[in-house]
Amino acid sequence: MRGVVAAGHPLSAEAGASALRAGGNAVDAAVAACLMSFACESPLTGPGAGGFMLVHSAGGESRLLDFFVAAPGLGPGAEVPAPGALVPIGVEFSSEASQVFNVGASSCGVPGTLAGLTHALERFGSMALSELCDPAAAVAREGVALAPMQAYLHRILAPILASTPEGAAIYEPDGRPLRAGELLRLPELGDLLERLGAEGSGFLYRGDVATALSDWVLERGGLLTRDDLAAYETVEREPARARYRGREVLTNPPPSSGGILIAYSLSLLALLDRPGDERTVVEVMERANAARTEEFLNGLNSEGYLERFRAEEAMEAVAGQAADRLSASAGRSARVSPAAGREGVAKPGELGSTTHIAVLDSGGGCASVTSSSGSGSGVVVPGTGIHLNNMLGEQDLNPFGFHRHEAGRRIPSMMAPTVVLGDRAPEVALGSAGSNRIRSAVLQTLLAVVDGGLSAEEAVARPRLHFEEGRVDAEPGVDDGALAELEAAGYEVRRWAERNLYFGGVQAVVLDRDSGALSGGGDPRRGGAAVVAA
């Protein structure tokens, strides 16, 4: 089948394209690419991670598959201990920026990727799981030569990856982080993938691997029980929807937060109707940030919250306030960042250890899937090939305190796999890495395609803005006049000297509604790649 795949690594994109060439559909290709990403991007994703897949089938069905990390701690109270202490580990992004990540067994939530990918294949795919697992298993065993971007990630995350003897044996076999060009071999992951192809994912949730994971984590102060794993299921949800310039935009619904904040932003932009205006985009980003209150996070798990959050009267009121500020902004005094004109550096918490895959096929199907291990917990369970996530220790996902989520509930996420439909047929599938920058990266890439008419590659490469904590960060290439207008409106503006992974890692695929041409964009900020399968 003809189609296009964009992914965070060239081998992942090629694995998806190979599935299309073999006659598979978009979901087959997405699963193949995800499995390959376990071997190619293991600090970011893997069988110990969680994620989401947004599917629009050739038959017109749209579903969000939620296989994100769940809070652990199910079981009889006497058997579930109080959580042990999180392990703080400092990670230095540069000489000027560092962060303490919370890792260790107490940070590990219930992983969902294997359950989610097998569910997606059974529900929407057409190929055998073994066909998709075997290439990834071979690469995991043979090893992947680290590209410069992967070597950079390995280097900065080394304090976490090598924080346990099990992790050090994999990621620092010679007593130091692997360098660009050196091979990362994951033979136990290869064994797991081969077994997955033969048996399905049951062994991780109810079999011997489930027992090994739970025992290992509980013995080290974590909360992951056998009941947590046995109870875990992929949840199918109705996507959140927004209308924008004649298209229907589908994205991640509650209990996740990133998708509905994108839908909120698009609804405001549609009401304001000022396409291509950076000042308006920043105003909308600011409004979306302000909406993410503790009440918002608490409401994500309540019935009907999406409808209440985006009620028509409330949206019109916020749009009116934004319009008034836009009209009055020229008279505000300027605040120029001390860093203006110099290279920006990532603030603490801004790596966003996540990866995305997007696929369109010629039959009218598409799949958009984001997965993440957080920063990784450092907990590698011997004999399983699994490095567990640290979602219970991620500050961005736990802004009001750790270990507060009810056992069994999904942890709210910023991840926002997104699909744009025109005349009910998919035109765009995209998503991003980048923690809090996911929203701004996806929003601006989508606008570049819909408003600007750009191809996927052009839209992904386009310079980005991000607003957070009162400041606008801007990549080189953003219009100087627009930045001056933002400063005149009172915003602090930090101009970056180089394009940077701080601004997200978007993978996008586009079907041109006029010509029918397919294009793919793998984000150069994170070593992404795209392949068109002819």
pLDDT for 42-65, tens place per residue?
Answer: 999 999 999 999 999 999 999 999
Q: Find how far residue 377's CA is from the centre of its chain.
A: 17
Q: Say what the pTM is.
A: 0.93
| Residue 351 confidence (pLDDT) | 53
For each of the domains in the chain, give its residue range(s) and CATH number, in order of start: 3-233+353-397 (no CATH), 237-348+417-533 (3.60.20.40)
pLDDT, mean over the chain: 91
Q: Distance (Å, rounded) from C-alpha 287 to C-alpha 34?
A: 34
The phi, psi pair for 36, rounded to 5°, reads -65, -35
Q: Is residue 499 over pLDDT 80?
A: yes
Q: Is residue 94 over pLDDT 70?
A: no
How does pLDDT run across 186-217, given as a tens digit for each residue? 999 999 999 999 999 999 999 999 999 999 99
- Looking at 223-237, 268-282, 443-457, which range is the least confident one? 268-282
Which percentage of the chain shows pLDDT scores above 90?
74
3-class secondary structure per residue, 9-56 = CHHHHHHHHHHHHCCCCHHHHHHHHHHHHHHHCCCCCCCCCEEEEEEE
Residue of 482, 488, 490 whose CA lies nearest to 465: 482
| Residue 276 confidence (pLDDT) | 81
Residue of 443, 479, 430 whose CA lies nearest to 284: 443
| Residue 100 confidence (pLDDT) | 82
Looking at the DSSP assignment, which residues form a beta bridge with residue 237?
64
- Looking at 91-100, 118-127, 166-175, 455-464, which range is the least confident one? 91-100
Average pLDDT of the residues in 86-93: 83
For residue 301, is it left (φ>0), alpha (ψ between -120 and 50) or beta? alpha
Q: Supply the residues annotated as catalytic.
A: 354
Polymer length of the chain: 534
How does pLDDT run across 415-444, given as a tens digit for each residue? 999 999 998 789 999 999 988 889 999 999
* Residue 97 confidence class, pLDDT cut points 50, 70, 90: low
When comparing pLDDT for 425 and 399, which is higher? 425
Residue 347: exposure state from Cβ atoms within 10 A (0-12, 13-18, ≥19): middle
